[in-house]
């Protein structure tokens, strides 16, 4: 079998080396005008060489001459840089024009005495869709809640006493809003802050430096702002008519965060409900803040 394969290969290579002559004759006189002696192997080598030379020439023309600019997607690098620069300038001009329009509109609103009204309060569900749902706890559930709450009140009182002796003495708490304290801190009644009655549209200020972690409208407490301070201190401001900060804002002590209002179902008049928490437990704000 191997000898047969070798013989076939030898025959094939010999055929490639066979010499052939290409002759061009005059059709009338049969005079020889041109002759060329070739072999199949030589013809293959010649065609391959011509192909390589032509490919190299075309690639060179495209890569090193201006012909490449006529190829789609292969523009001039400098032109592309100019286009990107112009695009960035156009975006910047668009932002500047948008900010200018916003500023001019605000000026026009001020000149025309147009102010933003108070947002519409969410209305209660009047369809009666959930009126038949029984939400009252069972006797066992109520008893369990009372036991847990009584234990929490005792534990909270002990924690608050310990916190008073802690590291809060060196903090200077800015007054959130000056007024009359009408409802004091009372853990037994689950009133974990103080209610401060003040004049309408009074500015509410942050008691310490911190970061706003929550600001939104709730049905029970209206507009609420929560601020995280150092040393695990959190201050909470409820029943605001509007807020001037958003979550993530970094603020300084005494900086405005909103306006005193009368929002939320738990509010019975214009006032500020203020809470102070330390390490997850409520503190009596009157022990640290002068109202």
The pLDDT-based confidence of 212 (bands split at 50, 70, 90) is: very high
pLDDT exceeds cutoff 80 at 226: yes
> Greatest CA separation found in the chain?
133
Answer whether residue 173 shows pLDDT above 80.
yes
Mean pLDDT of 10-20: 81
Predicted TM-score of the model (pTM): 0.46
φ, ψ of residue 77 to 5 degrees: the values are -65, -40
* Strand ranges (E), 39-126: none
272 closest CA partner among 225, 219, 211, 218: 225
- CB distance 256 to 204 below 8 Å: yes
pLDDT band at 128 (very low <50, low <70, confident <90, very high): low
- CB distance 238 to 214 below 8 Å: no
Cα 120 from chain centroid (whole Å): 28
Instruction: Tell me how far apart the alpha carbons of residues 212 and 97 are, in angstroms, rounded to a whole number.
Output: 30
Give the pLDDT mean for 207-236: 92
Q: What confidence tier does 146 reach under pLDDT thresholds 50, 70, 90? A: confident
Which tokens in the block code for residue 123?
């209305």
Cα distance between residue 34 and residue 9, in whole Å: 34
Q: Is the pLDDT higher at 165 or at 44? A: 44
Closest to 238 in 3D by CA, of 188, 196, 185, 179: 196
3-state SS of 132-151?
Answer: CCCCCCCHHHHHHHHHHHHH
CB 263 within 8 A of CB 241: yes
Q: Is the pLDDT of residue 165 over 50?
A: no
Q: What is the mean pLDDT of residues 147-159?
A: 57
Give yes or no for residue 228 having a pLDDT over 70: yes
Q: pLDDT averaged over the chain?
A: 81
- 91-100, 137-146, 221-230: least confident range: 137-146
Mean pLDDT, range 145-166, rounded to an integer: 56
Instruction: Tell me: pLDDT of 1 over 60.
Output: no
Output the six-digit token pair for 33. Answer: 């005008």
Q: Which residue has the tokens 């004759």?
A: 25
pLDDT band at 129 (very low <50, low <70, confident <90, very high): low
Q: What average pLDDT does range 254-274 have in this prediction?
A: 90
Q: Is 55 exposed, middle or buried (0-12, 13-18, 19+ CB in 10 A)?
A: exposed
User: Does the pLDDT value for residue 149 go beyond 60?
Assistant: yes
Q: Which pLDDT band holds residue 234 (cuts at 50, 70, 90)? A: very high
Domain locations along the chain: 2-64, 171-287
pLDDT at 152 over 70: no
Is the pLDDT at 18 greater than 50, yes or no?
yes
CATH 2.70.70.10 correct for 171-287: yes
Residue % of the chain over a pLDDT of 70: 80
DSSP class of residue 75 equals -
Among 204, 211, 242, which residue's Cα sits nearest to residue 227? Answer: 211
The better pLDDT of the pair 128, 232 is held by 232
> Is the distance from CB of 208 to CB of 236 less than 8 angstroms?
no
Q: Which two tokens stand for residue 64?
A: 């090193």
Q: Rounded distance, CA 116 to CA 259, Å?
A: 14
**The pLDDT of residue 52:** 94
Exposure class string for 73-83: b at 16+ Cβ within 10 A, else e: eeeeeeeeeee
Taking a C-beta distance cutoff of 8 angstroms, is the pair 241, 198 a contact?
A: no
């Amino acid at each position: 079998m191997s000898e047969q394969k070798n013989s076939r290969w030898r025959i094939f290579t010999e055929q490639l080396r066979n010499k052939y002559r290409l002759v061009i004759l005059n059709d009338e006189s049969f005079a020889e005008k041109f002759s060329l002696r070739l072999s199949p192997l030589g013809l293959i080598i010649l065609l391959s060489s011509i192909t390589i030379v032509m490919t190299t020439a075309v690639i060179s023309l495209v890569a090193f001459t201006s012909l490449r600019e006529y190829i789609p997607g292969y523009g001039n690098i400098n032109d592309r840089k100019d286009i990107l620069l112009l695009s960035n300038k156009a975006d910047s001009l668009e932002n500047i024009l948008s900010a200018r329009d916003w500023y001019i509109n605000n000026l026009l609103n001020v000149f025309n005495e147009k102010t933003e009204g108070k947002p519409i309060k969410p209305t209660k569900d009047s369809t009666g869709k959930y009126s038949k749902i029984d939400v009252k706890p069972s006797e066992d559930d109520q008893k369990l809640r009372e036991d847990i709450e009584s234990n929490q009140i005792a534990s909270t009182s002990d924690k608050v006493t310990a916190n008073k002796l802690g590291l809060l003495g060196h903090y200077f708490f800015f007054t959130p809003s000056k007024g009359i304290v009408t409802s004091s801190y009372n853990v037994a009644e689950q009133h974990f802050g103080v209610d401060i009655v003040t004049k309408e549209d009074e500015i509410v200020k942050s008691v310490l430096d911190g970061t706003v972690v929550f600001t939104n409208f709730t049905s029970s407490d209206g507009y609420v702002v929560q601020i995280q301070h150092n040393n695990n201190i959190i201050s909470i401001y409820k029943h605001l008519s509007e807020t001037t900060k958003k979550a993530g804002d970094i603020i300084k002590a005494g900086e405005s965060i909103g306006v005193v209002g009368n929002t939320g179902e738990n509010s019975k008049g214009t006032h500020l409900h203020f809470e102070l928490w330390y390490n997850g437990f409520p503190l009596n704000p009157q022990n640290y803040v002068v109202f």
